[in-house]
């Protein structure tokens, strides 16, 4: 820690002020000798008292006390009969001496205290002015560099030394090489404790490293180097503490200004991307809607049906592409809500044309709600069902089962079709643009599964593929069950 004020040794006593006190008394004696020609002895005493008070006012308590004694002595020696001797003929003078000594001491000490208070007040004012000036500068500093400059040019001189600001980079490390000792600076940053000279940690170091701490965290380190061997005095220590918190707050303010600025930029960028995506989405969907609709007008011919089918397929690919683009540009932002798994399965089944394929759904009614983004999760299911429709004959059966094991919900989508081609790594299917059979007659760019994996992983779950016995494909989605919100069930009738 910074040394406490009481640990600071007082300024060494300056003996020359005692010399000044004696000299002042000698001078007064001379003046008194002249005055005595005109004035009475009892008036001359007042001149000595005045001197004692002035000495105390100018040079302090000790000088005042000495002056009081010397003044009484010289008054006795030079002016009280018999002169040139400390002998006193009239005992009345003994009373005068006592009174004079008492008055001189009291006025001297009062004057000295007055002076001390004036000095303290002046120092306080000086410190307040310095603080105010630095605070004003720090409050308009817009960058870390500005703050560093203020530390160098304004704060250092006030502390009779050189102050350097050491700030961590984005990785929370003080950059190396830096001015000073990186190791100590890093320690100070992490511990929030001062180190180096004048502290309990590594006091032998030539510089002090002081943490710049705000209520939130330690934002940087102030390094203080001083040539003087004397420690900081109370006034400077007070200043230093004030500077520490002012600099810390200034750094924090600059930091939050930057954060706000970056956020604004990101929001702008995001808005632009969203606008772009929705424009692309609209531009692709409009012709598709027209094509699909017009083909629907052509009646029940094979050609018309084929156009409708292809338009539908293209629509699903466009949707996948847009979803991939959206997920890539924004990361996955989930709109999490508590959903019933069977409802999502039902919705996805309704959205996928499966032809004459049988669908067997086995989802226990008592399965808990699960927290997920319904639109994205439906996308996963539609892709899986769509795959089943693409790769199985039209008399295949689709099995959809869900279960809870421990803290997980498992959803399996299986078919009894031909399954994956032999010799391929089934889990490589989830890599981007992978497809089971190279250049097969079945359309699709393999976007669906990689998109599905990305969506499931964003939910904290996993998706895997395996071969089903005796034949067919199996996809397994594992989700975290979580803690569904409670529902105030009504009282049974």
Q: Which residues lie near another protein (CB under 8 A)?
A: 278, 281-282, 285-294, 296-297, 308, 311-312, 315, 319, 322, 335, 337-340, 342-347, 349-350, 359, 361, 363, 365, 369, 374-375, 378, 400, 484-485, 487, 490, 492-493
Rounded to the nearest whole angstrom, what is the least distance from the CB of residue 316 to another protein in the complex? Answer: 10
Our CB check for another protein shows the closer of 290 and 445 to be 290
Strand partners, 412: 401, 476
Our CB check for another protein shows the closer of 117 and 283 to be 283
Using an 8 Å Cβ cutoff, are 2 and 222 in contact? no
Our CB check for another protein shows the closer of 22 and 288 to be 288
Q: How far is CA 159 from CA 7, 134, 225, 236, 243, in A?
A: 18, 13, 9, 6, 10
Rounded to the nearest whole angstrom, what is the least distance from the CB of residue 411 to another protein in the complex? Answer: 12
Beta-strand relationship, 358-362 and 397-405? parallel
Burial of 219 (0-12, 13-18, 19+ CB in 10 A): buried
Our CB check for another protein shows the closer of 140 and 487 to be 487
Could you tell me which residues come within 8 angstroms of residue 416 by beta carbon, excluding any fewer than 6 positions away?
392, 396, 397, 399, 468, 471, 472
Rounded to the nearest whole angstrom, what is the least distance from the CB of residue 322 to another protein in the complex? Answer: 8
Q: How many CB atoms lie within 10 A of CB 292?
A: 18
Q: How far is CA 17 from CA 1, 29, 64, 316, 397, in A?
A: 35, 18, 10, 98, 110
Our CB check for another protein shows the closer of 222 and 381 to be 381
Q: Which own/partner pairs from 224-230 qualify as long-range (CB within 8 Å, at least 24 positions apart)?
A: 224/159, 224/161, 224/162, 224/163, 225/161, 225/162, 225/163, 225/164, 226/159, 226/160, 226/161, 226/162, 226/197, 227/160, 227/161, 228/160, 228/161
Rounded to the nearest whole angstrom, what is the least distance from the CB of residue 178 to another protein in the complex? Answer: 50
Rg, the chain, Cα only:
46
| Residue 463, both tokens | 């998706």
Q: How many CB atoms lie within 10 A of CB 268?
A: 10
Our CB check for another protein shows the closer of 195 and 311 to be 311
Our CB check for another protein shows the closer of 359 and 478 to be 359
Burial of 232 (0-12, 13-18, 19+ CB in 10 A): buried
Our CB check for another protein shows the closer of 69 and 280 to be 280
Rounded to the nearest whole angstrom, what is the least distance from the CB of residue 326 to another protein in the complex? Answer: 8
Question: Which among 234, 237, 189 has a CA at the least distance from the CA of 212?
Answer: 189
Rounded to the nearest whole angstrom, what is the least distance from the CB of residue 361 to another protein in the complex? Answer: 4
Our CB check for another protein shows the closer of 302 and 493 to be 493
Rounded to the nearest whole angstrom, what is the least distance from the CB of residue 352 to another protein in the complex? Answer: 12
Our CB check for another protein shows the closer of 146 and 342 to be 342
Helix (H) or strand (E) holding 412: strand 408-415
Rounded to the nearest whole angstrom, what is the least distance from the CB of residue 273 to another protein in the complex? Answer: 14
Q: Which residue has the tokens 């004003």?
A: 136
Our CB check for another protein shows the closer of 277 and 426 to be 277
Residue 10, phi then psi, degrees to nearest 5: -65, 160
Rounded to the nearest whole angstrom, what is the least distance from the CB of residue 452 to another protein in the complex? Answer: 17
Rounded to the nearest whole angstrom, what is the least distance from the CB of residue 246 to another protein in the complex? Answer: 45
Using an 8 Å Cβ cutoff, are 132 and 139 in contact? no
Using an 8 Å Cβ cutoff, are 358 and 398 in contact? yes
Rounded to the nearest whole angstrom, what is the least distance from the CB of residue 378 to another protein in the complex? Answer: 6
- Angle made by CA atoms 470, 475, 480, in degrees to the nearest 5: 135
Beta-strand relationship, 408-415 and 473-480? antiparallel
Our CB check for another protein shows the closer of 49 and 322 to be 322
Rounded to the nearest whole angstrom, what is the least distance from the CB of residue 449 to another protein in the complex? Answer: 20
């Amino acid at each position: 820690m910074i040394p406490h004020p009481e640990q600071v040794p007082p300024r060494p006593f300056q003996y020359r002020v005692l010399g000044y006190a004696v000299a002042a008394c000698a001078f007064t004696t001379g003046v008194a000798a002249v005055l005595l020609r005109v004035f009475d002895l009892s008036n001359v005493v007042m001149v000595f008292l005045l001197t004692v008070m002035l000495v105390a006012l100018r040079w302090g308590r000790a000088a005042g006390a000495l002056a009081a004694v010397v003044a009484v002595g010289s008054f006795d020696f030079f002016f009280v009969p018999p002169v040139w001797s400390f002998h006193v003929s009239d005992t009345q003078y003994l009373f005068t001496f006592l009174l004079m000594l008492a008055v001189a001491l009291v006025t001297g000490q009062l004057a000295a205290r007055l002076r001390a208070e004036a000095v303290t007040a002046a120092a306080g004012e000086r410190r307040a002015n310095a603080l105010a000036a630095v605070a004003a500068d720090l409050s308009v500093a817009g960058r870390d560099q500005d703050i560093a400059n203020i530390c160098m040019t304004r704060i250092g001189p006030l502390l009779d030394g050189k102050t350097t600001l050491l700030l961590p980079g984005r990785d929370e490390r003080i950059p190396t090489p830096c001015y000073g000792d990186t190791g100590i600076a890093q320690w100070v940053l992490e511990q929030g404790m001062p180190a180096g000279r004048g502290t309990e940690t590594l006091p032998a170091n030539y510089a002090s490293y002081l943490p710049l701490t705000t209520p939130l965290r330690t934002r940087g380190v102030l390094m203080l180097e001083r040539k003087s061997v004397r420690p900081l005095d109370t006034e400077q220590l007070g200043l230093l503490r004030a500077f520490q918190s002012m600099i810390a707050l200034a750094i924090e303010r600059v930091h939050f200004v930057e954060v706000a600025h970056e956020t604004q930029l990101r929001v702008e960028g995001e808005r632009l991307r969203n606008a772009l995506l929705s424009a692309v989405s609209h531009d692709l969907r409009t012709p598709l809607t027209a094509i699909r609709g017009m083909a629907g007008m052509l009646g029940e011919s094979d050609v018309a049906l084929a156009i409708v089918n292809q338009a539908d397929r293209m629509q699903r690919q466009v949707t996948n592409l847009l979803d991939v683009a959206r997920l890539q540009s924004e990361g996955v932002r989930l709109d999490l809500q508590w959903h019933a798994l069977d409802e999502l399965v039902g919705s996805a089944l309704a959205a996928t044309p499966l032809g004459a394929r049988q669908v067997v759904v086995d989802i226990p009614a008592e399965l808990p709600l699960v927290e997920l983004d319904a639109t994205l999760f439906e996308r996963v299911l539609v892709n899986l069902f769509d795959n089943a429709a693409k790769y199985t004959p039209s008399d295949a059966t689709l099995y959809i089962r869900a279960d809870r094991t421990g803290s997980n919900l498992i959803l399996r989508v299986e078919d009894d079709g031909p399954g994956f081609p032999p010799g391929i790594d089934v889990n490589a299917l989830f890599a981007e643009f992978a497809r089971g059979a190279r250049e097969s007659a079945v359309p699709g760019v393999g976007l669906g599964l990689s998109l599905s994996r990305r969506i499931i992983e964003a939910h904290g779950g996993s998706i895997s593929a395996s071969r089903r016995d005796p034949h067919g494909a199996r996809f397994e989605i594992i989700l975290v069950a979580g803690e569904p919100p409670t529902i105030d069930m009504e009282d049974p009738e």
